Amino acid sequence: MLFLKKSQIGGCNELGPTNGDKSLDDRYNAVVVGTRCIASDLQRLHIIVQGIVQGVGFRPFVYSQALRWGLTGFVLNNSLGVTIEVEGTAQALEDFQRALHEETPPLARIVSLTAKSVPVRHETSFVILHSETGPERRALISPDTAPCHDCLRELFDPADRRYRYPFINCTNCGPRFTIVQDVPYDRHKTTMRVFPMCPACQQEFDDPLNRRFHAQPNACAVCGPQVSLLIKDGAGQFCATESHDPIVQAAQLLTTGAIVAVKGLGGYHLACDALNAEAVQRLRQRKHREAKPFALMVPDIESARKVCTISDAEAVLLQTRQRPIVLLRQHNECPVASDVAPASDTLGVMLPYTPLHYLLLSAFTEASQLDHPVVLVMTSGNLSEEPIVYQDNDAYERLSTIADSMLIHNREIHIRCDDSVMRISTGSKQFLRRSRGYAPEPIPFPCELPIPLLACGAHLKNTFCLGKGQQVFLSHHIGDVENVETLLSFREGIEHFQHLFDIFPQAIAYDLHPEYLATKYALDSAIVPKIGVQHHHAHIASVLAEHGLMEPVIGIAADGTGYGTDGAIWGCEILVADLLNFERVVHLAYVPLPGGEQAIHQPWRMAAVYLARTYGDAFLEQDRVFVRQIEHPKWRVLSQMIAKNLNCPQTSSLGRLFDAVAAMMGLHREILYEGQAAIALEVLATRCPDPVTSYPFVIQQGTPATLDVVPLIDAIVKDITQGVPAERIAKCFHLSIAQMLATACAEVRQQTGLTKVALSGGVFQNQLLLEQLITLLEEMAFEVFINRLVPPNDGGLSLGQIAIAAAQLRNRIYRK
């Protein structure tokens, strides 16, 4: 652990990040007021601490440490972070600084600490001063955090004055990002400003030795936010109830099969009993969400074990204070209604992450039958495709056709923030969506940005990325930017981040796809220069940035749709890439995407394309179920479109090849969300216990080389015809793709000598493919890197865009 040495005092020193883990209470017990020393020994230090240091109990921590080491001076919050002046003996100052690093409060994260000596002032006490507002903003905002153990204990303690109070929190836990309107982080700049504290809360707030000292959302039942329950009247309007305990009443409604909208931290959830098949189906119908899985909430880890198999790493991830949704394998005899996650063998499960959730789940447990696991569906409160609802008026309007009742509260949500989604993959955690609990914590970045930058991200699963200096902020999940609501959320999110972190970009990076709304936003903005970044280069760059890789690597980018530099739709690309540039060395052989976007929703089109590529139009004569189902007139129209090159862009998408094989096997002729057919194929493959061998494929030499899957399609057709079990075919197909990519990598290594491989792109959400490919590459002595801090899908794209833009700008500067 680094700390300042006496000899270093006087200059400026930058120290690395640290994290402490002791509770504040432990440390307060250790407070000792030091003895005063003689004046001539005194030194004084001016210290600036930057990072997540506001609203996390940092000033009381500093106060207690100053008392402990007998120092005088002051501490205050300002727009830079925390400023401290301390005066005492050299030894006491050194002890104090060591403690700053080694005993940091749980939610604090020190990014930098600078100290310089200043003239002594001979003060007699140490004080906490009022916040200063300054011109430059560097302070970070903590993500929202689940209740700490101390708050949970008080929540369920009948003797505590906050017994069953749904908004209990302290400096170690509670809402942050979703209630902050401005910095510095003070109550009057949060949505808690409308709740003046009662004398008891104010006393805690003012006491430096209290766990709630300057806990900005501090509140109790006397002075703070309240919940209420709205129930539909005969005319379908929500009306307030005179309920003695709205949470208990909501829980009782849930046991009767009702759908309850629940206002949470970053938006509304729609809740129902996950064991009640009829309620789950009704929720699907009303939400117009026909197939995408619903997330679940269970009261505790023991309940989670009743529905899913949970490894040690998964248990840790479920219980982490960020409380993501964790994808888990469900038990064979899982009692959860099958409509929760149709045709999937995994469930997305989370534990409660607000006091209100804890109370609701506890009341639901009491109201449920004894022998049943307690599981609630907790899916985003929105109509299909729209962003999660977070404003009350919007909720009454948009959720009125879905929910039977609403459990609401009067603390405003300032910014919407969806739940994060994670899983344990190849032994470590991986994001599928990085949002609540993680945003807006900065992503560690390997180098300094030459100027402030904004990267606009992609079309689906959008996030944006804003950075200056060495600080890079990946936004919360914005969603699929394909309607007015999401575009508005994207624009508002950018404005909010710019304001909070005082970053006004001087260059803007965007995806090359001309039809993406995020791209149009970049092109219409006043910011110049504008830096177009190829989609798959950005995927690979996101891995390079995460791992601080500055040298060229072999990058495998595999996904559904990404605009290529030749105007084709790329999606299975092997690049030789660094942050500055890339060369496309191998790709999946092009096939037409008949009808463009329509082909994504109708995998049968891709199956027909691949069959026609393999057998010509003779495939129509094959006597197989899939071929018999093809409507010949429809195919004739499509094949004419292909022949005339009408709305049939060329594609090398791996996602579409998965769609084609799934459709050929009769899994999904049409799909309701992108990736649905591929997920079905993966589920099937994981059910095959036997070892399999790869189907044949051909790597056609060239610049770039192409991967030809005609022999593979032919082999699959033969297996289908011969009645080989579908599970086995699906597993062979996965292995073949892994084998094909690994073999191509070996050829690239022969030509380039490169031994590091970076994997990214939405197709690598396929765990089976990812594991098979990593195993093969490692057997071939490659060093493999994957995304761990951002999602491999388009949710991580903006990080890659900002890294590339920074490298290219820096290079132009160097060239001058």
Can residue 638 be called a binding residue for Zn ion (CB under 5 A)?
no
Q: How far is the CB of 76 from Zn ion (least distance, A)?
A: 24
Answer yes or no whether residue 4 interacts with Zn ion by CB under 5 A.
Answer: no
DSSP string over 378-418: EEESSSTTSPPP-SHHHHHHHSTTT-SEEEEESSPPSS--P
Quick one: how far is CA 292 from the chain centroid?
18
Question: Among residues 220 and 720, whose Cβ is nearest to Zn ion?
Answer: 220
Which amino acid, residue 746?
Answer: A
Instruction: State the Cα angle at 495 between 491 and 499, rounded to 5°.
Output: 170
Report in angstroms how near the CB of residue 150 gets to Zn ion at its nearest. Answer: 5
Query: How far is the C-alpha of 601 from the C-alpha of 611, rounded, in Å?
Result: 18
Contact between 608 and Zn ion per CB under 5 A: no
Instruction: List, in order, residues 6 or more apart from 12 with CB less than 8 Å away.
Output: 114, 115, 116
Q: Give the range of 167-175, 533-541, 656-664, 779-787 binding Zn ion by CB under 5 A.
A: 167-175
Residue with smaller CB distance to Zn ion, 264 or 571: 264
Whichever of 53 and 774 has its CB closer to Zn ion, that residue is: 53
Distance in Å, CB of 322 to Zn ion, minimum: 15
Q: Closest CB to Zn ion among 358 and 697? A: 358
Closest separation between CB of residue 354 and Zn ion, Å? 12
Binding to Zn ion by residue 170, rule CB under 5 A?
Answer: yes
Quote the distance between the C-alpha of residue 174 and its chain's center.
Answer: 19
148 near Zn ion (CB under 5 A): yes
Of 357 and 433, which has the nearer Cβ to Zn ion? 357
Nearer to Zn ion, 224 or 552 (CB): 224
541 binds Zn ion (CB under 5 A): no
Q: What six digits make up the tokens of 608? A: 């027909």
User: What's the DSSP call for residue 53?
Assistant: -
Q: How far is the CB of 35 from Zn ion (least distance, A)?
A: 34
Quick note: the x/- pattern for Zn ion over 213-252, rule CB under 5 A, is: -------x-xx-----------------------------
User: Footprint of Zn ion on residues 358-397 (CB under 5 A)?
Assistant: none
* CA gap 59, 43 in Å, rounded: 21
Residues 294-353 that bind Zn ion (CB under 5 A): none
Q: Are 317 and 424 in contact (CB under 8 A)?
A: yes
CB 46 within 8 A of CB 85: yes
CA nearest 747: which of 792, 709, 698?
A: 698
Least distance from Zn ion to the Cβ atom of residue 168, Å: 7
- Least Å distance, CB 169 to Zn ion, is 6
Provide the sign of the torsion angle of the four alpha carbons 646, 649, 650, 654, taken in this order. negative
Distance from C-alpha of 272 to C-alpha of 280, rounded to nearest angstrom = 7
Q: Quick check: 151 binds Zn ion (CB under 5 A)? A: yes
Q: Does 172 bind Zn ion (CB under 5 A)?
A: yes
- State which of positions 182-211 bind Zn ion (CB under 5 A): 198, 201
Contact 485, 432 (CB under 8 A): no
Q: Which CB sits closer to Zn ion, 222 or 646?
A: 222
What type of residue sits at position 649? P
Per-residue binding letters, 577-596, with Zn ion (x by CB under 5 A): --------------------
Stretch that binds Zn ion, among 60-68, 166-174, 434-442, 612-620 (CB under 5 A): 166-174
The CA distance from 816 to 813, in Å, is 5
Near Zn ion by CB under 5 A, which window of 162-170, 401-409, 526-534, 627-635?
162-170
Those residues whose C-beta lies under 8 Å from the C-beta of residue 637, and which sit 6 or more positions away, are none
- Nearer residue to Zn ion within complex by CB, 122 or 149: 149
Nearest to 477 by CA among 716, 143, 706: 143
Residue 173 or 774 having the CB closest to Zn ion: 173
Tell whether residue 173 is a contact of Zn ion (CB under 5 A): yes
Site for Zn ion in 17-36 (CB under 5 A): none
Q: Decide: is 107 part of the binding site for Zn ion (CB under 5 A).
A: no
Which two structure tokens, joined as six digits, stand for 175?
């809402």
Kindly tell me which of 211 and 434 has the beta carbon lying closer to Zn ion: 211
Nearest distance, CB of residue 249 and Zn ion, angstroms: 24
Nearer to Zn ion, 151 or 679 (CB): 151
The yes or no reply on residue 152 touching Zn ion (CB under 5 A) is: no
- For residue 432, give both structure tokens: 């599928």
Which ranges in 272-382 belong to alpha helices (H)?
Answer: 277-287, 301-307, 312-319, 355-367
The helix, strand and coil proportions of the chain, stated in percent and rounded to the nearest 5, come to 35, 20, 45
* Interacting residues toward Zn ion by CB under 5 A: 148, 151, 170, 172-173, 198, 201, 220, 222-223
